[in-house]
Amino acid sequence: MAQKLIIDADPGIGDALAILTAMADPSVELLAVTATGGAVSGVQATRNLHYLVELVDPVRHPRIGQCDHAAAVNDAHPHVAAAWKHVNGDNGLGGLHIPATDLHNRRKSARLIVDIAREHPGEVRLLTLGPLSNLADAADFDPQICEHLHSVVILGGSIQAGGDVTASAEFNMWANAHAARTVCHLPLQKILVPLDVSTGPSLCFDDVDAMCTFFQPSAVSEFATSLLQYAIRGQRQYAATEGIPLNSVAALAVAADAENFQQEGATADVETTGELTHGMTVVDRRPIHSTRDNFGVVSALDDVGVVDYFARAVRRICCP
């Protein structure tokens, strides 16, 4: 049976590649994609998601959740914004022109998550690829959301790898640390995919070149080619790396049970007040402590398997 899934995202290139993968994966029933403000504004996130769905035109269109936040988290942090835009472009999708379109049936992202969870109690897994604002808001709207959702897979946090936006914090936790802390305490099955493992699967220049060479001409393949080539250039020029990390695809592979992974129980929380540690994921490593584990933390992933999972999906939509 296909896994019923909602993907909550602030799509830059990585999130876009994961959403393309989900729409091409027959083992996933993508019920909705919901926009959240983060690396891009909520308005831009909504526009990007709408563009992705219309471009792929899947047999069953996922519903789209809207976010009206006009500012991105990055806007208040120019150094963070500059680094991110070098790799993702001003609008998150490699600078491609994304037409402004209005949704016919407007539904706020958090409300849509609540509605779908109620429609399919105990069956829907939520995958968060951006800040955790919408899940925190959904729990505020409907405290029973934790009973209705099957589980949540969270791309975020760092256990031992250090941060990517500050020395101690990973972006998705840092961008809305208060929402992240709220989610930590929700009585809900939560699987965390931290930086320690999500940065492992990656595409090198030869991988991108080989994929793009075999694409068949179509609007989707042109889009995928543009994203991959933009990202690989940005990583080489500005991040001094030779590959595109597939963090979001790695989290999708966990959410879809598409590849092998290992997880360990952990008691974790997110710091909200520290000057140097704001947004830091704090794991209680004491052998004896008074609280129960509130996360399953992915500790190992099949990196090659995740890359193959992405490649299979891309072939389905770009080489029909």
Fold of 3-318: Inosine-uridine Nucleoside N-ribohydrolase; Chain A (3.90.245)
**Model confidence over 107-164: pLDDT tens digits?**
999 999 999 999 999 999 999 999 999 999 999 999 999 999 999 999 999 999 999 9
Among 192, 198, 222, which Cα is nearest to 318's?
A: 222
Instruction: Please name which of 209, 207, 217, 175 lies closest in space to residue 310, comparing C-alpha atoms.
Output: 207
* CB 5 within 8 Å of CB 125: yes
Contact yes or no for 156/173 (Cβ under 8 A): yes
Residue 47 has pLDDT above 80, yes or no: yes
Burial-class residue 170 by CB neighbours within 10 Å (0-12, 13-18, 19+).
Answer: buried
Closest by alpha carbon to 158, among 150, 167, 149, 147? 167
At 193 the three-state DSSP class reads strand
The Cα–Cα gap between 222 and 180 comes to 36
pLDDT in tens, 178-224: 999 999 999 999 999 999 999 999 999 999 999 888 888 999 999 99
Task: Map out the domains of the chain as residue ranges.
Answer: 3-318
